[in-house]
Structure 1
Amino acid sequence: MPDSTLVDAALLADWPLPEPGSDKEERGRLVAVAGGRDTPGAALLAVDAAFRVGAGKVRLATARSCATALAVAAPELMVTGLAEHDSGIADPAQAARVLALAEGSSAVLMGSGFTDPEASAALVGAVVPHLGATVVLDAIASAYVTEDPERLATLDATFVLTVNPSELAHCLDLDQDEVESDLAGHAALLARRTSATVLCGGPVKVVAHGDDLWRVEAGNPGLGTAGSGDVQAGLVTGLLARGADPAQAAVWGAFLHGTAGDRLAERIGPVGYLARELAGEVPGLLAELSR
């Protein structure tokens, strides 16, 4: 396994986030293309996490069937309902609308709550070649990478991939056991092939960016619960909107996610806390780390 740098509070103190500013415009805009007919909660988890790290304005583009419910559940959001693919996520034919919504945004999240790899790859492929922002491809949205990892490096957008070991293996067209035997090495390989920042979850989180590798040992088995990855993707995207660069956003997001889980494990128990409880721990953690 290649050498990696341990992420802790001391490292983050020497790598401070951009000042949040006092105005919502100063804290950045982001668009999340997330959720679907069967997974509206994934979108809600991701955008809530983005708000909790200080993103100023968040817009959600989601399946039309769940747009109204999400707008009511999160009144801070601007929500746009899109025509649906048979799989329940936004139809790839809606790419032009997504691009119009993303205009002026500094970060775009795609993938949280997507359920169909083929439809996800088609939607991502119709959108990202026309973006210039930083794009977070979460979970099944990484199916776009599987088809041709090197093509990300040819696009104008900058990319962060938030994946689990199984998704990392699919991106590299390798066996999952092989990838898990050297998670850091394979995350670094994908980062080189795509020119992206790669955040891979697991018992130890790994962030790869160029020749740099970080490991985040914060976290516990309770994080292995439905929706947890959506929260992490939202944290990373919110930090990008605030002005963090991709490596910083991935490292900070991974540490905040893991440490939030540790706080909940201490207070509630090692398992049984919920993904929707993670983001609420984040503002206090940010305040502590900033001090």
Structure 2
Amino acid sequence: MPSRSEPKVITSGLLRGWPLPVPTGGKDNRGTVLVVGGSRFTPGAVLLAGTAALRAGAGVLQLAVAASTAAALSIQVPEALVVGLPEDGDSNIDGTGDGRLPELVAAATVVAIGPGLHDIDESRVLLRRVRDAVRPQTALVLDAYALGALSHEPGLLGDGIGPVVLTPNLTEARHLLGRDLGEDLAAEAAALAERYQAVVSMYGHVADPAGGSWREESADAGLGTSGSGDVLAGILAGLLARGAEPAQAACWAAYAHAVSGQRLIPRFGRVGFLARELLDEVPRTLAEL
């Protein structure tokens, strides 16, 4: 494993010294984010991730979701191209169907896969289809059940894949490592980064396979709410689409996510705000940096 120094604390000063690429030109210059996920019963996860990507500055948003939810999502997110994918008998996306998915993957700058998926086997099929269609320069963000699929098949991504960012919660991290986690989460994030050769954003800890390590310290209990992880994955995807490097995007996303939650505390208290309420705070948080 690469030698690692003490994790750097992610502060506004650190991020100002590590500025994001400055957007220029039209929407195509800020990249295309494709979010693959959802089932008939969980389209909201894709809505949160996709909207967060736009709030973080992505230029174009595309959503590939269960067909039964596509019409509703196209109304809820009129800024996005929404493509319905076939469903299996349990209302999950059938990864063996629709020929449109490879086309969308091949055209994307960033593919975020996992929000709202609910079946490990179908997630493995979808992840394989994404892997087979993705361009070498395209970044992948794996969240939720896509991480579960990777834990069942650690070599699934294989060689020749571009930048990968993993966004596990603690349970998903345990499955990815195949063991219980220790108390040192920075070390566990580093172990994941080394094992999967990916940038890892886990519970405020960011690690990259080259040995970099960071931690975000301003997150509060309110972020532990349904849909919050989907927002984080979307912010990260949006920053990658703008041209940020993977570790940079992960650090900026962790900070924007946490500080957006802090902004909601005066109105709602430490707990009780909703994941969707984070979305409107993200652009302001980023702009103030």
Same fold (TM over 0.5): yes
Q: Does 1:253 align with 2:245?
A: no
Please say if residues 39 and 93 of structure 2, whose CA atoms lie closer than 8 Å, have aligned partners that are also in contact.
yes
User: How far apart in 1 are the matches of 2:178 and 2:5?
Assistant: 21
DSSP 3-state at the match of 1:103 = helix
Please say if residues 56 and 239 of structure 2, whose CA atoms lie closer than 8 Å, have aligned partners that are also in contact.
yes
Q: Does 1:18 align with 2:17?
A: no
Please say if residues 5 and 213 of structure 1, whose CA atoms lie closer than 8 Å, have aligned partners that are also in contact.
yes
User: How far apart in 2 are the matches of 1:74 and 1:150?
Assistant: 35
Please say if residues 152 and 196 of structure 1, whose CA atoms lie closer than 8 Å, have aligned partners that are also in contact.
no
Note the C-alpha offset of 1:2.
6.5
Note the C-alpha offset of 1:157.
2.7
RMSD: 1.6
For residues 19-71 of structure 1, what are the alpha-carbon distances to aligned partners after superposition, in whole Å with 9 as ceiling and x for unaligned?
12241111111111021111011110001100101110000000000000000
Alignment of 1:42-191 (within 5 A): 42-94=45-97, 96-132=99-135, 133-152=138-157, 154-175=159-180, 179-191=181-193
DSSP 3-state at the match of 2:58 = coil
* Equivalent in the alignment of 1:266: 266
User: How far apart in 1 are the matches of 2:119 and 2:238?
Assistant: 25
Letter in structure 2 aligned against 1:39: T
Number of aligned residue pairs: 283
Please say if residues 153 and 195 of structure 1, whose CA atoms lie closer than 8 Å, have aligned partners that are also in contact.
no
User: How far apart in 2 are the matches of 1:55 and 1:99?
Assistant: 21
Please say if residues 38 and 116 of structure 2, whose CA atoms lie closer than 8 Å, have aligned partners that are also in contact.
yes
Please say if residues 86 and 97 of structure 2, whose CA atoms lie closer than 8 Å, have aligned partners that are also in contact.
yes
* Equivalent in the alignment of 2:199: 197
DSSP 3-state at the match of 1:136 = strand
* Equivalent in the alignment of 1:213: 213
**Unpaired segments of 5 or more residues in structure 1?**
none
Please say if residues 95 and 123 of structure 1, whose CA atoms lie closer than 8 Å, have aligned partners that are also in contact.
no
* Equivalent in the alignment of 2:31: 28
Extract structure 1 runs of 4+ deviating beyond 3 A. 150-153
Note the C-alpha offset of 1:95.
6.7
Bigger proportion of residues as helix: 1
User: How far apart in 2 are the matches of 1:217 and 1:124?
Assistant: 32
DSSP 3-state at the match of 2:6 = coil
Could you tell which deviates more after superposition, 269-278 or 138-147?
Answer: 138-147
Q: Does 1:237 align with 2:237?
A: yes
Note the C-alpha offset of 1:74.
1.0
Letter in structure 2 aligned against 1:138: D
